[in-house]
Amino acid sequence: MQPDEPSETASKETTPWRVYAAVLSASLLGALLLRAFVIHAYRIPSGSMESTLLIGDYLLAERLTFGSFVELPVARKELFRWPPLRRPRRGEVVIFRSWGDPGTEIVKRCVGLPGDTVEVVDNIVKVNGVASDPIFQGRFDTTHKVNTEDVFPVSEWRAVERARNFGPHIVKPGHIFVMGDNRTNSEDSRVHGDVSFEALTGRPLFIYWSVNSHSASLNPFDSIRWERIGKRVH
């Protein structure tokens, strides 16, 4: 029995490392599954959703509500998609694959559901002929009026005119109509058309980090928007 003792000691010494390796592997697998099925992180690169979302906001979004894509992590090749738990609601902020580039994801607000009639009249959004829907109160700036004193390049002038007057447009079945909260600086369904349910990829939850890259301060901590961290997206 004596010769067996060293091997027993060696086994006891290596067991913790096996446990650590197993825990690390399980944690890594859990993180990959969480990333693939449940949570995604996003950075806001433009001002099309101001003032709800600012440039430099970092979001966490869940991917289950509208149906989660399952992809190969490196190749980004879609394998399949879990069925959605529900469809978007009017007024809800959604994430979806871009009209022209499925590899790019965009954040906008759902304004119209299938069958809704959406129009913009003199910078006022109307859904099914109603302009007083509380969902949109405070979401869209209706105070900006274009006049002859405003000076815009041609492309910007057309964008402003499109923002002020659009439609009426009936949202197609199986689609939603999306708009940016910064209506005069958002290329959305007014330009590219409706967004299909199949293009939806996530529902924003909250801002986990926010940095003002245009801060003039030399102190990096001054560029952090502390008041926005933890803020819910709604």
Q: Catalytic residue numbers? A: 48, 108
Percentages (nearest 5) of helix, strand, coil residues in the chain: 30, 30, 45
Nearest in space to 105 (alpha carbons), one of 206, 36, 200: 200
In the chain, the amino acid numbered 181 is D
DSSP secondary structure, 105-131, as one string: EEEEEEEE-TT-EEEEETTEEEETTBS
DSSP secondary structure, 93-107, as one string: EEEEE-SS-TTSEEE
Cβ neighbors of 22 (< 8 A, separation 6 or more) are none
Would you tell me how many other CB atoms lie within 10 Å of the CB of residue 178?
27
